[in-house]
Amino acid sequence: MLTPEERLEEIMKVLDELEELSSTMPVVVEGLKDIEALRRLGIERNVMTLGRGATLFTFCEEVSRSTKEVVVLTDWDRKGGRLARTLKEGFEANDVRVIDHIRTKLVILSKKEIKDIESLPTFVTRLKSLAALAEGR
């Protein structure tokens, strides 16, 4: 089992990787609160929400016109899992490679303490506090 310090370090590595990927490809999230949460964590480039009013497949077709790779970063509740699978199918049907290991790593590192992107900044802050307390021992 990872200590808070180790979890924090691993989450920061994942977020650094996400920031790097966002420089060359879109990061697809579910809503505006997710965009704001990622901004608070320093990820500001190429983050987009699902198109409102369009079907998921239409959204995937539209995005595929401008990229051949995309990060899918949906929440890790049941709805987010279904959405991630549907997006992956839609993007792959349009010859777009889906990067989904970021989501998988965050699911593992959050250990069911949080289930969505918008909770990430608070979770990271909590881990920083726990790590600081452990350091003070």
Output the six-digit token pair for 56: 């998921």
Spatial CB neighbours of 137, under 8 Å, sequence gap ≥ 6? none
- Does 2.60.40.1120 match the CATH number of domain 4-128? no
Helices and strands in the chain: count of H runs, count of E runs: 6, 4
Q: What is the pTM of this model?
A: 0.93
Domain segments of the chain as ranges: 4-128
Question: What separation in angstroms does the CA of 58 have from each of 11, 12, 22, 89?
Answer: 32, 33, 22, 12
Q: What is the pLDDT of residue 137?
A: 57
Reported as a single tens digit per residue, the pLDDT across 69-79 is 999 999 999 99
For residues 36 and 81, the answer to whether their CB atoms sit within 8 Å is: no
Q: What is the pLDDT of residue 93?
A: 97
Residues of the chain with pLDDT under 50: none
